[in-house]
Structure 1
Amino acid sequence: MNIRLETIILYVQNTGLLKNFYVENFKFTVVEEDPAWILMNAGPAHIGLHKIGDQYLEKIAGGYQFDNNTKLVFETDTDIEVVRNDLLSKGVQMQEIKTFENYDFWLCDGTDPEGNVFQLKYRK
């Protein structure tokens, strides 16, 4: 049996806002799009943005950011400090760059406009 990750789906409040965020900042390309669904090519896998149903949106106060236990990790071949500074200049919330002993990568976490956590990963 051969299994591979093909798509990660995020349930979001505003598909257009997040589409723009990932297209503008990470240069992902849109593969499919309709009012409730956007699928983007993110390299070896896709990221799907699925609009939360109206029955749930009515219960969410404007500007609410979701807490979740998911982190999207994006490996970059551009110096992580350059990428981080570019995102900071665009108002993206970014943490400090870090690494671990005996680990071959620099890491930096950030959040998208709805609070989904992503991590940049850059080989030392």
Structure 2
Amino acid sequence: MNAKLDTTLFYVKNVELIKNFYVEHFNFTILEEDSSWALLNAGSSHIAFHKIGEKYLQKISKDHQLDNNTKLIFEIDIDILSARNELLSKNVRMREIKTFENYDFWLCDGLDPEGNVFQLKSRKQSGSKNY
């Protein structure tokens, strides 16, 4: 069997909030949506958001950040510092820029409104500075 990743689905508290976050900050386009579902075109695959079932929503507080072990990684086509600063100016929670020895990319993690981790990944340019 050969397989390719088509869609990554997240169960979320507020589909509208999360959908708007990724459309606004990453320019993803909406393919499908209703009150409990949104499907976004994220380039070579899709990202979907499905509302958590009511019986589960009743068990968590409004301000609770969901815990998961998934990180969305987005390769970007602009300088990582510029991208980070733009997101910070829009009150997106961002961590520091980092890299690893003998690794060709700069990395910077952030959090969406429900606490899902995403990472920006920007190719190092020859002679690029350290952050």
1:79 paired to 2:86: no
- Corresponding residue pairs, total: 124
The superposition leaves residues 67-104 of structure 1 with CA deviations (integer Å, 9 ceiling, x where unpaired) of 11100000001111111000000000000100000000
Q: Which runs of 4+ in 1 moved over 6 A?
A: none
Aligned partner of 2:108 in structure 1 is 108
Aligned partner of 2:5 in structure 1 is 5
Match for 2:88: what amino acid? L
Aligned partner of 2:128 in structure 1 is none
CA displacement at 1:2 relative to structure 2:
2.4
Aligned partner of 2:94 in structure 1 is 94
After superposition, residues 9-88 of structure 1 pair within 5 angstroms as 9-88=9-88
Largest Rg, 1 or 2: 2
Match for 1:80: what amino acid? I
SS of match in other structure, 2:97 = coil
SS of match in other structure, 2:85 = helix
Note the residue ranges of structure 2 that are not aligned, 5 or more in a row.
Answer: 125-131
Aligned partner of 2:127 in structure 1 is none
Distance of 1:35 and 1:20 partners within structure 2: 13
